[in-house]
Structure 1
Amino acid sequence: MKVFVTGGRGMVGRNVISLAKQHDFEICSPSSSELNLLDAQAIHDSIQQFRPDVVIHAAGKVGGIQANIQSPFDFFYDNLQMGINVVYAAWQNGVDKLINLGSSCMYPKNATNPLREDCVLSGDLEPTNEGYALAKLSVGRMCEYLYRQYGVEYKTIVPCNLYGLWDKFSPNNSHMVPAVIRKIHEASVSGSHDVEIWGDGKARREFMFAEDLADFILYAIRNYDHIPSFINAGVGIDHSIVEYYETIAKIIGFNGRFVHDLTKPSGMSQKLVDVSKQKELGWSPKTSLVDGIQLTYKHFLEEQI
């Protein structure tokens, strides 16, 4: 099976490619220097040349709360344009199967948790990442409209928050878990006794090891006809921000204290996706939080060498 993967140098894409190599998949995943996903014609030509059986759209401009607040236009435009270009090019080239990766940011900020797939667009979005969420919503809807009008059934998988191997650990554009790993590691190495937490730390988040998401994506390809057009992927359990800090501190061996900056935003109070449909398919993630963070921390240390 020939699979075209966007975002192959990102965390999700690299995990997908790593697992796919263990199966009978022929992968094409141009880097950003080889293929500009903001260039519609270039994407069309690349897909036309490779002629894939499946497209996995895992590319995206991502970042934490601070990055989303500072650059809402960039997060909206880049993610919207990339998504439109990839979905349109796949359709125009007759690709029957496409996996589009959404985000739990697509759900309303005041939606009842766990977040069910049918509550999309039922309320206001979280302001701190609204641009990113709107782009993801639009691309997901584009896939649904293709099915309604032309009968082409492209699937959107909405993962919970992710972390794992090949994550971004930069303080400027990393998500929570890798950012906390770096922050606590540096505090431990420097002998600092204090680590800052934005907000009161009571907000709850669900995090899944990225390799598990990659496994679900490949499962979805193999069972494509049984996968709903819009489905969550998660672990079904959430923890408070403070609990994540405590777990990471224990793994790293940091014995200092946490200091809360209550002037900083905490984001949505909870983001836990409903995994009922996922369970009905018979799939569940394999990696525990402790095991996943240990593997991620080991990867972080290897990157520092």
Structure 2
Amino acid sequence: MAKIILLTGASGLVGSNIRDHKFSSNYKILSPSSSDLNLLNYQNTEDYIAFNKPEIVIHAAGIVGGIQANKNYPVKFLVGNMQIGLNILMASKKKMVKNFINLGSSCMYPKNSKNPIPEDVLLKGEFEPTNEGYSLANITSTRLCEYINREDSSFSYKTVIPCNIYGKYDNFSYDSSHMIPGVIRRIYDAKNNNSKHVDIWGDGLSRREFMYAEDLADFIYYAIENFNKMPQNINVGLGHDYSIMDYYKIIANVIGFKGKFNHDMSKPTGVKQKLIDIKKLNKLGWSYKTSLELGIKKTYDYFLSEVKK
């Protein structure tokens, strides 16, 4: 009989790619909507788990957004995400769900971490101020997984820390998108409006690591099948990064935008580099499959067919 997996955040970027992955047919995946499972309500969360009896929980739910959204709504990002994390973890523990994959974020790492960033520097320094609330909530869930395992070794609650993610089912809005979908939207509009230039926040020299969401979904299924071998906390990324300018140029090339880029130095750019260390990932035996160019092309095709249709 197929294992029963509870997938939270199934309608989000990561959750949707996990749900749609070719390996999803090997399992019985529960992907409740927020009306079926209100993660902000502990009792509702516990009751759902008690009734459905999942063998594994993959926790991909959360309140997410780009730099501007994190700056504008720190209370929502801290309180909402912390409540969600505590509720799903404690309800799972109480109902004796033994295996739990917690999706963290590389924003949990200290802002002055030396690159590439290893897993053992968690809580060794201050967070980047622009997303501190979100980071605090994520680190709380990550530590709670460790504490649950420490108190009772029959539980195996582990955290996956991906680099930045983009792809199908992304948010392309002007107000709350992450960088790649936001740039796709702006360059697409610039081309269609015959604009001569597109603004870039800052000097474009900051470096970021972005992985195609389908690859992260592929890792999640690899992790399920290799759960005992997986370390407590594991980075999942490419092992290399690109400058912000590189991303703009590749996106412009895919879309066919021929204009110029202007640098808006009044806008925040975040840390200069955030590249995660993937030594543990390499040892586990998994690596990404989708190149940046192909991933952006697939994401742009999704944008054209599903967002701008």
* TM-score normalised over the length of structure 1: 0.99
Partner of 2:182: 179
Query: Residue 115 of structure 1 aligns with which residue?
Result: 117
The CA deviation at 1:153 is: 2.1
* 1:64–1:174 Cα contact (<8 Å) kept: yes
Tell me, yes or no, if the aligned pair for 1:2 and 1:26 is still in contact at 8 Å: yes
Match of 1:59 in 2: 61
How far is 1:24 from its partner? 1.5
In the aligned structure 2, how far is the partner of 1:33 from the partner of 1:251?
38
Q: CA deviation at 1:202?
A: 0.8
Q: Distance in 2 between matches of 1:104 and 1:148?
A: 23
SS of the residue 2:40 aligns to: coil
Q: Which residue of 1 aligns with 2:39?
A: 37
Note the C-alpha offset of 1:22: 4.4
SS in 2 for 1:80: helix
RMSD: 0.9
Q: Aligned partner of 2:139: which letter?
A: L
Q: 1:236: Cα distance to partner? A: 0.7
Instruction: Could you tell me which runs of 5 or more consecutive residues in structure 1 were left unpaired when the two chains were aligned.
Output: none
Question: What letter corresponds to residue 95 of structure 1 in structure 2?
Answer: V
| Pick aligned residue for 2:198 from 195, 198, 203 | 195
Q: Distance in 2 between matches of 1:26 and 1:186?
A: 41
Q: Does 1:161 align with 2:164?
A: yes
Correspondences of 1:191-230 after superposition (within 5 Å) = 191-230=194-233
When normalised by structure 2's length, the TM-score is: 0.97
| 1:186-220 C-alpha deviation (Å, 9 max, x unpaired) | 00111001101111111100000001001101111
Contact 1:167 1:178 in 2 (8 A): yes
SS of residue matched to 1:260: strand
Amino acid paired to 1:273: I
Tell me which residue corresponds to 2:104: 102
User: Which residue of structure 1 lines up, in the alignment, with residue 264 of structure 2?
Assistant: 261
Q: Aligned partner of 2:112: which letter?
A: N
Long gaps (5+) in structure 2: none
Paired letter, 1:231:
I
CA contact (8 A) 1:163 1:177 kept: yes
1:239 equivalenced with 2:267 (yes/no): no
* Contact kept? 2:23, 2:221, Cα under 8 Å: no
Count of aligned residue pairs for this structure pair = 305
Please give the alpha-carbon distance, in whole angstroms, between the structure 1 residues aligned to 2:143 and 2:22: 27
Query: CA–CA distance in 2 between the matches of 1:196 and 1:122?
Result: 35
For residues 161-193 of structure 1, the C-alpha deviation after alignment (integer angstroms, 9 at most, x for no partner) is: 000000010111110000000000000111001
Counterpart contact for 1:20–1:218, Cα < 8 Å? no
Structure 1 partner of 2:283: 280
2:201–2:267 Cα contact (<8 Å) kept: yes
Match of residue 10 from structure 1: 12
Q: CA deviation at 1:33?
A: 2.4
Aligned to 1:132: 134
Could you tell me how far apart the structure 2 residues matched to 1:176 and 1:235 are?
A: 17
> Could you say if the C-alpha distance between residues 20 and 91 of structure 1 is closer, same or farther in structure 2, counting changes exceeding 3 Å?
farther
Secondary structure class of the residue paired with 2:102: strand
Distance 2:103 2:24 in 1: 22
Residues 203 and 264 of structure 2 are in contact (CA less than 8 Å); yes or no, is this contact kept in structure 1?
yes
Identity of aligned residues (%): 52
Native 8 Å contact 2:159 2:232 kept in 1: yes
**1:233/1:278 contact within 8 Å kept:** yes
